[in-house]
A and B are shown apart, each in its own frame.
Chain A
């Protein structure tokens, strides 16, 4: 399992009801159900991922997150998770509001666009960054709303959200003293655990 998912699962209390937005092949929900006795659902639109989830017995719902989440009731989940997908949606800010309407808490992970390698790509080479972790060209990328670690922290502040925990990890999704010290420069993936 991806190391960021490992980290997230450490932050989720046993027996929680979890909604995983963009659940992929269901790794996180599977891990959580097994180790934390959680219940809940994954939302996904990729056909292959949906079938993988079905084969694994993960309750997956084919639903386009951009089309709205009105079918989920107010505060009906303990945690709403979105791993590596926030930057792909039309209005990440409104989505964050929705996540905290549906869930008591939200956990979000996203690629930190402020990472030093991205800065070199853009600042020195003058090109949009393309890397192993972000392997797209500017014109075909699903990532339409990049932000940096600091941008997201500012958004939380603006929205008056409580940041319960955060983590900043490198390309191998490991925690280091330098990613912790200067997350906006050294982390490739940022992880936030927030509530109202």
Chain B
């Protein structure tokens, strides 16, 4: 809990809800007749709506990217280190929008919200959503604000995929894309990890084929297990080693299956905490959205050809110890951008944190983001002085 709000914080924020009554046809063929998106904004939109930055969240992220909801909050939003007055995503200059994606479980229409057709929670009946669908829904949210063109769209991991998709789906609606610790599509190994996560959820008897809400049940074990597995892949061997090593609970081996090594305790805690705050159906949907993303498939695997349409400037960032989306995966995007002659900057940041590094305020990484967005800020019309 903050006693006082730090000067470089966006402060207390209140999530907003946007209701959409234009039907949205999804990639899977189903149509959502109406839906809601919950979002937060930081900073002020300028007169010609040219200073907006869209933040796209990753697998388990949500709209609460910066600031505090109440003075009792234990922690600020998930990317508070990067968003705020004077921070790399500077809210003195930019108007920042962060939303919870469709299919999420933090207020936007998804498996935990009521399906108007049945009057009950969607649960497993919620349609599959893709990165493309998210971009469509985000574009409609932008329309609400009168934002024709974003100054930048920024995202890490699955969020980076959304920024990439924006650059080719609506090339004239963004000036810049910052794609961080991302990939142009999942590798076989990535899909394999996702499948193990899904199986651990589906095989939990409390899952009831996704209808656990109707059965007043929560597949905590399955979701917790999925998160434990995921969590390992977000960290690096070194970061886990530094944090826990072979630290033990007891001085001697106990020869049982209770917690002996501290890393076991940590993982169980992570799994349990996550299964309390996240929805299993949403987790399943998000992993599928990751699996399905493959823009190069539209041109028989030729990513450069797909990216030809892009008009924005790109910043790509990878992290040396990230093995979930390794630097080589970011470089696939970089190379395709070079081939298509686009304005691209790429930096590979030394870090120990693995894939999670994109959430840490690593000085070189923050400087790159600040420098990149600072260039974009210079092209904005001068601020009106009252």
Contacts and interface: CB of A to CB of B under 8 A. Distances in A.
A51 B368 contact: yes
A61 B341 contact: no
Contact of A54 (B335, B338, B339, B368): B368
Contacts of A58: 345
B371 A51 contact: yes
A57 B368 contact: no
A62 B330 CA distance: 12
B345 A54 contact: yes
B375 interface: yes
Interface string A49-79: 0110111111111110000000111001000
Contacts, number: 51
Interface string B341-357: 10111111000000000
Given A41-B338, A72-B338, A54 B347 contact: yes
Interface string B244-277: 0000000000000000000000000000000000
Contacts of A61: 334, 338, 344-346
B364 interface: yes
A7 B322 CA distance: 42
A94 interface: no
Most buried by A among B313, B341, B347: B347
Most buried by B among A39, A57, A60: A57
B89 to A, nearest CB: 15
B347 A55 contact: no
B345 A60 contact: yes
Contacts of B334: 61, 71
Given A71-B335, A73-B339, A55 B345 contact: no
Interface in A32-59: 39, 41, 47, 50-51, 53-59
How large, as a class, is the contact surface on chain B?
20 to 34
B384 to A, nearest CB: 25
Nearest to B327: A62
Interface residues of A, number: 21
Nearest to A41: B338
A186 B367 CA distance: 43
B43 interface: no
B345 A53 contact: yes
A60 B341 CA distance: 13
Contacts of B315: 54
B344 A62 contact: no
Given A41-B338, A55-B374, A71-B338, A50 B347 contact: yes
B331 interface: yes
B42 interface: no
Contacts of B358: none
A72 B331 CA distance: 12
A136 to B, nearest CB: 24
Contacts of B364: 47, 51
Contacts of A59: 343-345
Contacts of B346: 60-63
Nearest to A61: B346
B348 A55 contact: no
Given A54-B347, A57-B375, A39 B338 contact: no
Contacts of A63: 346
B3 to A, nearest CB: 35
B68 interface: no
A43 B154 CA distance: 24
Interface in B158-194: none
B126 interface: no
A17 B342 CA distance: 12
13 contacts: A39-B343, A47-B364, A54-B345, A54-B368, A55-B371, A56-B375, A57-B375, A59-B343, A59-B344, A60-B345, A61-B334, A71-B334, A76-B339
Interface of B: 313, 315, 331, 334-335, 338-339, 341, 343-348, 364, 367-368, 371-372, 374-375
Q: Which 9 A-B pairs have the closest CB atoms?
A: A54-B371, A55-B371, A57-B375, A71-B335, A61-B346, A62-B347, A62-B348, A51-B367, A59-B343
